[in-house]
Amino acid sequence: MIRAIIFDLYGVLAINGWQAFKAEHFSEREDVWDQVFQMGRQVDAGLIDYAELIQFTARVSGETEGLVRHQLEHTVVNAELLDFIHAELRGRYRLGVLSNASSDEVIKRIFTPKQKALFDVIMLSHHVGTTKPDIRMYGAVSEELGVGPSDCVFIDDQKRHVDGAHAAGMHALVYTDVARLKDKLTLLVD
């Protein structure tokens, strides 16, 4: 029985300019992108400083640190999804956020206090000291929600993170848009 629904932040609950920046600067340079990506994971796990990621990315992209920071931090909420969560899920399920994020400041920048209050638990990678798809991330959030992994549905836009949730014993869905998510959740929870 599904008792909790857990959402990824970037690419699901919030949309940022980082993906467009990646496509513009690294689509032909996967080896360089991999270096940026690995540094980002280290930042998310709290192992290196955020400024190092910005400086490195600016250097390898040829852009200014200000532009890199703006692209990384220019994030808006997925209002349609938050409306669905508020209208259809809040009160029926325990709700969580599980994100590879290096600071609690990202939550303050993205959500209003009312939006943040929709969620019972917000678990960020720096709280755990590792990043998705490490199964410890999924275990930490389900424990904090007070439900077993098999009673959770995890929703992420990246298949490897969905695969990590499956490995941790959760139900999991790849997010593409709100309409498809509604259909997939209906099949899973009814």
CATH code 1.20.120.330 for 4-14+75-189: no
Rounded to 5°, angle at Cα 94 from 88 and 96: 95
Q: What is the pTM of this model?
A: 0.78
Q: Which residues contact 92 (CB under 8 A, 6 or more apart)?
A: none
Rounded distance between C-alpha atoms, residue 150 and residue 170, angstroms: 5
Q: Which residues contact 174 (CB under 8 A, 6 or more apart)?
A: 156, 157, 158, 159, 162
Contact 89, 3 (CB under 8 A): no
Q: Which two tokens stand for residue 64?
A: 């200014």
Rounded to 5°, angle at Cα 48 from 43 and 53: 65
Residue with more model confidence, 107 or 166: 166
Domain boundaries, the chain: 4-14+75-189, 18-73
| 3-state secondary structure (DSSP) of residue 96 | strand
Phi, psi angles (nearest 5°) of residue 12: -125, -75
Phi, psi angles (nearest 5°) of residue 10: -75, 125
pLDDT, tens digit, for every residue of 130-165? Answer: 999 999 999 999 999 999 999 999 999 999 999 999
pLDDT greater than 90 at residue 103: no
Provide the pLDDT confidence category of residue 187 given band limits of 50, 70 and 90: confident
Q: Is the dihedral of CA 131, 132, 134, 138 positive or negative?
A: positive
